[in-house]
Amino acid sequence: MATSKRDPSRENSALTHGMEVLRLLAVSPTPMTSTELARRLNLHQSTVSRILKTLSGAGYVRKPDYHSFAVDYGVLTLGGNANAQFPLTTRPRATMIALGERANGLSVSLATLWRGDLIYFIRTQKGHEPIPAVATGYPLHLSSVALRLLVDEPPREALEALELSKRRHGWERPTESVPETPTASLKMARELVSDECLILFDFQNTGWLSASIKIEMPGQPAVCLAVSGPGDIMSTAEIVAFLKTGRDEVVQALQ
């Protein structure tokens, strides 16, 4: 009797597509249809339907209504149990809380860029509970963290990351300060980096600032310490001083 042979490349492709579907559902603010998922991932709808059926059976996807899909509680258990394995989510917690208390109302974040997605390890702000690790579907061209990390990457790779973000999230321009193209965004970011910091004014909203400084440590991915909020809380000099001091404190906490 003849037996069918396994095709490892096909199995790996199916696994990759399944993770891509799960990622899109996880970062989407609303449920998505199989048609929309297929279009966004450039996959046949029958392929996406099979993936959704498998993920639903495993408890990672649910159907909030007849036509659409969203992540299920299995995603929370997976992510929650994994957080403790990453030092960037645990060791600097007390330091980040202290920085949030000293930031005069600005939000303080520790974040990185991973395969085209922003990952926030922790976010703090005076008077608020710390927000634990979360991956976002935020457009990279509006993020000081993403742009600060990208300016140190090879130009081609940096441009590809912004082009991918544009395909995923569009190219929203909340204000006229936001450049019109990925190439212009990289050029602007390189010009704005000063004293190790990238400070963006009037990007997400008029009167709003976002600023980041890069942190590099052996054995850890490059990350940024960032602040964001109303632009009149700190002067440029105060922002730079805060980020530099905060970077040293985070590095000390991670050692």
Give the mean pLDDT of 190-194. 97
Residue-level pLDDT at 9: 44
Per residue in 64-78, pLDDT tens? 998 899 999 888 777
What is the model's pLDDT at position 6? 46
Share of the chain above pLDDT 90, in %: 70
* Three-state DSSP state, 142: helix
Say which residue, 41 or 81, is predicted with more confidence. 41
Number of structural domains (the chain) is 2
* Residue 211 to residue 228: CA distance in whole angstroms: 6
Q: What does the pLDDT average to over 19-33?
A: 88
Are 13 and 111 in the same domain?
Answer: no
**Cα 130 from chain centroid (whole Å):** 17
Q: How confident is the model at residue 12 (pLDDT cuts 50, 70, 90)?
A: low
Check residue 81 and give its pLDDT.
66
pLDDT in tens, 138-181: 899 999 999 999 999 999 999 999 998 998 888 999 999 999 99
Same domain? 125 vs 227: yes
Handedness of CA 232, 238, 244, 246 (dihedral sign): negative
Domain identity same for 73 and 142? no
Same domain, 28 and 130: no
Report the pLDDT averaged over residues 52-65: 94
pLDDT score of 196: 97
Residues contacting residue 131 through CB under 8 Å, at least 6 positions apart: 120, 122, 123, 124
What is the per-residue pLDDT for 2? Answer: 36
Higher pLDDT, 115 or 186: 186
- Return the pLDDT at 175: 96
Rounded mean pLDDT of 6-29? 76
- Report the Cα 252 to chain-centroid distance in Å: 24
**Burial category of 43 from C-beta neighbours within 10 Å (exposed 0-12, middle 13-18, buried 19 and up):** middle
In a domain, 129, yes or no: yes
State the CATH number of the domain containing residue 177. Answer: 3.30.450.40
**pTM for this structure?**
0.79
Whether residue 159 contacts residue 186, with contact meaning beta carbons closer than 8 Å, is answered with: yes
Indicate if 105 and 229 belong to the same structural domain: yes
Flag whether 51 is in a domain.
Answer: yes
Are 135 and 98 part of one and the same domain?
A: yes
CA distances from 63 to 23, 78, 85, 140 (A): 16, 19, 31, 29
Pairing type for strands 32-33 and 61-62 reads: unpaired
